[in-house]
Copies of this chain bind each other. A is one copy, B any other.
Amino acid sequence: MLRQLSHELTIATRHRGLHEFTQEVEAWVGRNQFKEGLLTIHLQHTSASLLIQENASPDVRRDLEAFFKRLVPDGDPLFEHTLEGDDDMPAHIRTALTTVNLGIPVRQGRLALGTWQGIYLWEHRKAAMRRKIIVTLTGEP
């Protein structure tokens, strides 16, 4: 019979960039001993994203950051919304270009990620922030 569980995680980011949290999610899934299911992740913010990306080479993360910095420049004169600084509106746009929801299958008690896939919180603000994430697992215990 299917069951559903949810859990809240808080991640403290120190600066702009990709922060991996695959292990925190994997550990929670493992503790709950679901054999098969679907894990969904929701980030409760509008200036940071969730991203599944390459977890092997750190230069992939650097290049992602460099590309987004060039695509959505801080302090672009196009922006009216500059209340919290020159990275305020770029953070909203970078979030719109990516996502705040993920869905990952669980098989044989583990996240069915590909060999090179890691789960990241992408902080788009330059300052340290506390970010809240809700994970939900729907499946067979």
Contacts and interface: CB of A to CB of B under 8 A. Distances in A.
Specify the main secondary structure of chain A where it touches its partner: mixed
Interface of A: 1-4, 6, 36-38, 40, 42-47, 51-54, 57, 59-60, 62-64, 66-67, 70-72, 78-81, 83, 89, 92-93, 95-105, 107, 112-117, 132, 134, 136, 138-140
Contacts of A45: 114, 116-117
B59 A81 contact: yes
Contacts of A101: 52, 101-104
A106 to B, nearest CB: 9
Contacts of A103: 40, 42, 101, 103
A78 B101 CA distance: 29
Contacts of A38: 4, 40, 136, 138
B99 A99 contact: yes
Contact of A54 (B46, B72, B117, B140): B46
Contacts of A51: 96
